[in-house]
């Protein structure tokens, strides 16, 4: 059974710091992996999607990497800003068919000015 | 272009009651998925609807049922509510790989 774990559960950093969020999954047979952002009481916004054949994806100050063999992904945020404060969720898709994602519990990030 | 819209935003029910949540997908999307997110947890997949049929289902009891209409909008029904059904219910629409999520319906069961 696929399980997704995110460490740390919470993180506080001062503005301007570079930071890394970690995601691990127990079964390397995945179709893709996504990172989402969730603001309090709100829905999810997709940040980056990495196909199983890819090693990384970049969007602005965000970079996500994927190491399928070790069951790990990292989300790198450069030059953090207070507006980056949110919960970041990692999710894996096991099969090409369907829309079922398996989520971790998330990392809650707080960036202070 | 409106994104995924869900109604109502908040709902309070009593144990044993039934509830219906509604979702309108993003324009051009034909697939709707529902997720349950308990406090402090990641979302859990309930089911997916495409062409008005349930195509995929997560590990949820039959008390959870759904429907998709010809205009692609969808409803989630939960019967015989339990305290443990209190959660944020998220709807997502897609036409391809990326899911677009609504802001959710916060359901409280007392």
Share of chain A above pLDDT 70, in %: 100
Instruction: State how far residue A109 is from chain B, nearest Cα, in angstroms.
Output: 14
Determine whether the interchain pair A101/B44 forms a contact, defined as Cβ–Cβ distance below 8 Å: no
Determine whether the interchain pair A98/B55 forms a contact, defined as Cβ–Cβ distance below 8 Å: yes
Chain A residues touching chain B at CB-CB below 8 Å: 4, 32, 34, 36, 41-46, 49, 89, 91, 97-106
**A9 and A108 Cβ atoms separated by less than 8 Å:** yes
Instruction: State how far residue A92 is from chain B, nearest Cα, in angstroms.
Output: 12
Quick one: pLDDT at residue A74?
Answer: 98
Mutate to test the interface with A, among B6, B43, B68, B105 (most CBs of A within 10 A): B43
B6-25: average pLDDT: 97
Determine whether the interchain pair B94/A99 forms a contact, defined as Cβ–Cβ distance below 8 Å: yes
Residue B65: exposed, middle, or buried by beta-carbon count in 10 A (0-12, 13-18, 19+)?
A: middle
**A21 and A72 Cβ atoms separated by less than 8 Å:** no
In this model, does residue B14 exceed pLDDT 90? yes
Across chain A, what does the average pLDDT equal? 95
Determine whether the interchain pair B103/A103 forms a contact, defined as Cβ–Cβ distance below 8 Å: no
Residue with tokens 């970041």: A88
pLDDT tens for each residue of A26-81:
999 999 999 999 998 888 999 999 999 999 999 999 999 999 999 999 999 999 99
Please, what sign has the CA dihedral across residues B37, B42, B43, B44?
negative
Residue with tokens 């044993």: B16
CA distances (Å), origin A81, targets A8, A14, B18:
19, 8, 43
Q: How many contacts does A have with B, using Cβ atoms within 8 A?
A: 60
Contacts of A97 in chain B (CB under 8 A): 56
pLDDT tens for each residue of B23-70:
999 999 999 999 999 999 999 999 999 999 999 999 999 999 999 999
A14-21: average pLDDT: 97
Residue B6: exposed, middle, or buried by beta-carbon count in 10 A (0-12, 13-18, 19+)?
A: buried
Quick one: pLDDT at residue A6?
Answer: 97
C-alpha span between B33 and B17 (Å, rounded)? 23
In this model, does residue A82 exceed pLDDT 70? yes
Helix (H, G, I), strand (E, B) or coil at A8: coil
Residue with tokens 């068919």: A97
pLDDT tens for each residue of B77-107:
999 999 999 999 999 998 877 899 999 999 9
Q: What is the DSSP letter of A2?
A: -
B1 — pLDDT class (breaks 50, 70, 90): low
């Amino acid at each position: 059974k696929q399980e997704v774990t995110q460490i740390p559960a919470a993180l506080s950093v001062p503005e301007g710091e570079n930071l890394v969020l970690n995601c691990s999954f127990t079964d390397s047979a995945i179709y893709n992996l996504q990172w989402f952002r969730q603001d309090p009481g709100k829905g999810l916004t997709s940040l980056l999607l990495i196909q199983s054949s890819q090693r990384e994806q970049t969007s602005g100050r965000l970079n996500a990497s994927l190491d399928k063999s070790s069951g790990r992904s990292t989300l790198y945020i450069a030059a953090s800003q207070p507006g980056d404060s949110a919960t970041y969720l990692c999710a894996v898709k096991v099969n090409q068919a369907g829309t079922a994602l398996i989520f971790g519990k998330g990392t809650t990030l707080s960036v202070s000015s | 272009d409106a994104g995924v819209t869900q109604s109502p935003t908040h709902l309070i029910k009593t144990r044993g009651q039934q509830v219906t949540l509604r979702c309108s997908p993003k324009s051009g999307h034909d697939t709707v998925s529902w997720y349950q997110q308990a406090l402090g947890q990641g979302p859990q997949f309930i089911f997916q609807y495409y062409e008005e049929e349930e195509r995929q289902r997560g590990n949820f009891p039959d008390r959870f049922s759904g429907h998709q209409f010809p205009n692609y909008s969808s409803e989630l029904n939960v019967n015989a509510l339990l305290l443990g059904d209190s959660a944020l219910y998220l709807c997502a629409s897609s036409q391809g790989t990326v899911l677009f999520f609504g802001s959710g319906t916060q359901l409280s069961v007392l």
